[in-house]
Amino acid sequence: MRRALFRLLAGGALLGAPLAARAQDGVRVQPPYAPLPQQPFAALSESALSLGDSIVALARAQIGRRYVRGGESPGHGFDCSGLVKYIASALHIPVPRTARLQAHAGEAIPKDTADLRPGDLVTFGRGPRVSHIGIYVGDGRFIHASITAGRVIETWLLRPWAAGIKPWRGARRIAMTDSTGAAGQ
C-alpha cells in the first residue's frame, strides 16, 4: 500500500504534475515551476508581529497563573497591575506599578468597545478611583488577574452587574510607536 501511494505521489497523479521529467536525451530535468504566489497570509503575519498582538500573546501565556496580592512574576503569581507591569516590561514599555497609576499611562481611549484594540489596558473601579486593570484581547474580552477566581483569566469586558464586579471605567493605549518606531508613551 505504501509503495503504491509513493508511486502515485512520485508519478504526480496526486500532485497534478510529475516531480521530474526526462528530456529527450535521457538527462533528468526539473519541470518548470511557476513563481510562488504572494503569501496569502502576509497581512496576518504583519498583524501578528504588531506590538498590541505581542501584548495579547504574552497575556494569554499567563492564563491560569495564580493570583497573589503584590505579585508580579509568573513564578510567584500576579495581581492585576503586576500582570500589566510584567507584560509591558517584557516588551520594554514603561508603565507604573499600580492600577491607579497605570490608568494614566499611554493615551486615553474613548470608553467604547469599537475604539479598543488588542493590547489596550482596560480600567475598572467605583467612584473616582481605579482599583482594577486588565488587558483587552479583542472580541469584547480581556485578560486580568482575578482575585475572585484566584488566577489569571480571560473574560468578557461587558458583564451584567453583580456583587464584587467593578464597572468598566475606561481604556488606555500603551501599544504606540513614536516617530523612530520605538515603543513608548
Cα 115 from Cα 53, distance rounded (Å): 16
Active site residue 76: no
Q: Is 176 left (phi over 0), alpha (psi -120 to 50) or beta?
A: beta
Farthest CA pair distance, the chain: 87
Active site residue 144: yes
Active site residue 104: no
Residue 150 near residue 66 (C-beta atoms within 8 A): yes
Question: What pLDDT is recorded for position 19?
Answer: 38
Candidates 90, 88, 69; CA nearest to 79 is: 69
Catalytic, out of 76, 92, 104, 144: 144
Q: Decide the pairing of beta strands 77-78 and 72-73.
A: antiparallel
Summarised one tens digit per residue, pLDDT across range 35-73 is 545 555 555 445 434 899 999 999 999 999 999 999 999
- Identify the weakest region by mean pLDDT among 75-79, 106-110, 127-131: 127-131
Candidates 42, 174, 184; CA nearest to 118 is: 174
Question: What pLDDT is recorded for position 137?
Answer: 97
Name the pTM for this structure: 0.69
Candidates 158, 127, 132, 136; CA nearest to 145 is: 132
**Is residue 143 over pLDDT 70?**
yes
Q: Is 16 left (phi over 0), alpha (psi -120 to 50) or beta?
A: left
Q: Spell out the domain ranges in the chain.
A: 51-184
Catalytic, out of 76, 80, 92, 104: 80
Cα 108 from Cα 50, distance rounded (Å): 20
CATH architecture of 51-184: Alpha-Beta Complex (3.90)
Rg (CA), the chain: 25
Question: What pLDDT is recorded for position 180?
Answer: 37
